[in-house]
Amino acid sequence: MDFPILWMKIAVVLVGLLATVPIMLFVERRGSALMQDRLGPNRIGPFGLLQAALDVVKFLFKEDRALRHTNQAYFTLAPWIAVVPAFMTFAVIPFASSMDWDGRHVSFQIANLDVGILYCFAIASLGVYGIIIAGWASNNKYSLMGSLRSSAQMISYELSMGLSVIGIILSFSSLKLGDIALGQGQAFFTVFGHTIPKWGVLIQPLGFILFLISVFAETNRLPFDLPEGESELVAGYHLEYGSMKFALFFMAEYINMAVASALVTTLFFGGWQMLPGFPYLHHVLFGSAEFQTQEIARVGFEALSFLSKIAFFMWLFVWVRWTIPRFRFDQLMHFGWKVMFPLSLLNVVLTAYLVMKGVL
Amino acid sequence: MNAEIIAFIALSTIALVSALLVVLRENPVGSAFSLILSFFAVAGLYALVGAHFVAALQILVYTGAIMVLFVFVVMLLNADKPVLDFLKTSKWIKMTGAAAGIILLIVTGIALQPARTIQATGPWSTEQLIASGGHTRVLSLSMFSDHLFAFELTSFLLLAAIVATIALAKRRRS
Amino acid sequence: MQFHPWMLLSVGTAMFFIGLIGVVVRRNLLVILMCIELMLNAGNICFVAFSRMHQNLNGDLVAVFVMTVAAAESAVGLGLIIALYRTLKTVESEKLQLLRD
């Protein structure tokens, strides 16, 4: 049990996740503005980059009244129950392959649990409680309704989220995320002299689409954000929350987005497998260096690939949010139970048949 | 006093205290949240003894699905007001209940005494589990080969439960 | 002190009796159902403890199936309570006296 390396990995992941929030704030506000043909915040700092820092200062200094009509203990606890599971999911996500350094074998994954993906889904299902407790403890009919709608939506789409991944688990014969990321480096077929690796999206296109839609619903992002829609339920379950507690809910949403992007990347897009062109770049730049530098460069390129893929999916979240209108609640439930669930079952059966025949 | 024992004591204390709070709390929502905490601690206990798959399923099924259903029903039926159960139950019933529970616990403890001296031997010790690819892999290999029939039966049971619940809880358009 | 499965067994037994007392003493139907779930979970803990005692995986397997059965049973129980609420307009077990004359 190599503790210093473990603590370093945990520190890197925590700092990375905490740094994601201000970056996503900036991307969301400027990106949405550009999509809506306006400018967005561009006064504070160059290109508005310091806006997030000032938002944090605002949140810190806003008055946080202890409301008397709320259940104080649960009211304070709810944002933490929403935030902590979001961070916990990152413990099983690999962000690079392993390397030998200084005699130790360093694997770039905090814990290679043998239940892998199940851990991610289990912790994701815990995030529902933050919303339920927040809505109930606010002692407010609108909050309660918003939170009940949100949790109903989340548990409905958890089903198709789990089922759409079964195809990937069948194809790679393992629940461990490390194995799945590693297995996506195998060659799938060759076209024009280039080998195409066995990425999840190529062997499970239907599963990818279903998982992507389910993850949009799980993170309460548009088009599934009725529970927190501004025009619908005032503000839903975080209506009564102000300053730091609201900031915690905000943070929870963005980190859930980051977790969802990381899961999509690891399961369907090869995780840390290098983007096309990177192996050639690695060979050109570091081909003649000594072995240790080569290894570190390889790990660096893999981490860079991983980060770029995550960045692309987080941009996709922002893009879809400001493009598509939101679902009505009955349309949402109809879609989740009568369209997504049968399609994911169909995907499981098809994949099982193909794996049995030896195709996948 | 190694880390394992400390973790076990911490987790089992949380589990048992939350279980007590389930019984003792007035507000049904408070009971539900204590039960969630208890289940989470029990999942930690399962992970501590090496039953990883069972721990993941405990969180996924019990905490993540069953308790969400419970909390939903409590809030939908407006039962989230504190109910003064205990004030109305007579003192004698409460004392007899507690005494009966404690006596039963002591008797069961005496009956299970031989468990203290059992030597743990068997085909799947921890080292063999790790060597064979982990608890999940061995358990699922066993479940889908020797116990496949039980697995299929539980899927039928779940289907029957779904149909029954929808039939019971459906609003009758009369 | 080395960890031995009988410690887990005692935790499971204690939790079972806490649930039993809860079923007997409480009068709110939902809390009674929750205590039944506690008892089922306590049985699960004992199964896992036995599995560790004999070091085979049968106990873990039974625990998985018991979890599934508990999920089904709690769903049906809650459905019953919802149907009952429509007639009784309350979830107190004392009010279940419709057959009494």
Contact between B48 and B4 under an 8 Å Cβ cutoff? The reply is: yes
Residue C100 has pLDDT above 80, yes or no: no
A190 versus B147: the higher-pLDDT residue is B147
Contacts of C3 in chain B (CB under 8 A): 4-5, 8, 49
Number of domains comprising chain A = 1
Residues 49-88 of C with CB under 8 A from B: 49, 51-57, 60-61, 63-65, 67-76, 78-83, 85
- Kindly list the distances between the CA atom of residue A155 and the CA atoms of A28, A126, A273, B65, C92, in Å, as whole numbers in the listed order: 27, 10, 32, 8, 28
Reported as a single tens digit per residue, the pLDDT across C2-57 is 888 888 999 999 999 999 988 988 888 999 999 999 999 999 999 999 998 888 88
Q: How confident is the model at residue C66 (pLDDT cuts 50, 70, 90)?
A: very high
- Residues spanned by the domain of C36: 5-92
- Residues spanned by the domain of A73: 67-357
Q: Is residue C80 part of a domain?
A: yes
Residue A278 sits at φ, ψ, to 5 deg, of -70, -40
Contact partners for chain B, using 3 or more CB pairs closer than 8 A, are: A, C
Query: Which CATH number do you get for residue C53?
Result: 1.10.287.3510
Domain residues of chain B, as ranges? 1-83, 125-174
Contacts of C72 in chain B (CB under 8 A): 157-158, 160-161
Q: Is residue A118 part of a domain?
A: yes
Q: Which of A176-180, B96-100, B114-118 has the lowest mean pLDDT?
A: B114-118
Q: Is residue A204 part of a domain?
A: yes
Residue B10 has pLDDT above 90, yes or no: yes
Kindly state the helix (H) or strand (E) to which residue A106 belongs, with its residue range.
Answer: strand A104-106
Query: What is the sign of the dihedral through the CA atoms of C39, C45, C48 and C53?
Result: negative
Closest C-alpha among B31, B30, B26 to residue A137: B30
Contact between A145 and A131 under an 8 Å Cβ cutoff? The reply is: no
Q: Is residue A345 part of a domain?
A: yes
Contact between C38 and C54 under an 8 Å Cβ cutoff? The reply is: no
**Is the CATH number 3.30.70.20 carried by domain B1-83?**
no
Pairs across B and C, CB distance < 8 A: 232
SS3 of B82, please? coil
- Cα separation, A128 vs A58, in Å, equals 28
- What is the pTM for the complete model shown? 0.91
Tokens, residue A187 = 């060659």
Using the 8-state DSSP alphabet, how is residue A2 labeled? Answer: -
- Cα separation, A331 vs A84, in Å, equals 31
Closest C-alpha among A154, A325, A143, A152 to residue A234: A143
Report the complex ipTM.
0.92
**If you write DSSP's letter for every residue of B2-21 in order, what string do you get?**
-HHHHHHHHHHHHHHHHHHH
Instruction: Please classify residue B142 by burial: count the beta carbons closer than 10 Å to its beta carbon, then call 0-12 exposed, 13-18 middle and 19+ buried.
Output: middle
**If you write DSSP's letter for every residue of B132-143 in order, what string do you get?**
TT-HHHHHHHHH
pLDDT above 90 coverage of chain B, percent: 44
Reported as a single tens digit per residue, the pLDDT across C77-97 is 999 999 989 888 888 888 888
CB contact under 8 A, A125 and B134: no
Contact between A41 and A140 under an 8 Å Cβ cutoff? The reply is: no
Which pLDDT belongs to residue A224? 81
Contact between A13 and A90 under an 8 Å Cβ cutoff? The reply is: yes
Which pLDDT belongs to residue A131? 87
Residue of C nearest to B147 (CA): C61
Which pLDDT belongs to residue A57? 80
Q: Is residue A305 part of a domain?
A: yes
Q: Is residue A290 part of a domain?
A: yes
Contact between A271 and A180 under an 8 Å Cβ cutoff? The reply is: yes
Contact between A239 and A145 under an 8 Å Cβ cutoff? The reply is: no
Residue B145 has pLDDT above 70, yes or no: yes
Chain B residues within 8 Å of chain A (Cβ atoms): 29, 33, 36, 40, 52-53, 55-57, 59-60, 63-65, 68, 71-72, 75-76, 80, 133-137
Number of domains comprising chain C = 1
Q: Is residue C100 part of a domain?
A: no
Of chain B, the end-to-end C-alpha distance in Å amounts to 66
> Which residue positions in chain A have pLDDT lower than 70?
1, 65-66, 70, 227-240
Closest C-alpha among C13, A85, A251, C11 to residue B63: A85
Q: Is residue A56 part of a domain?
A: no
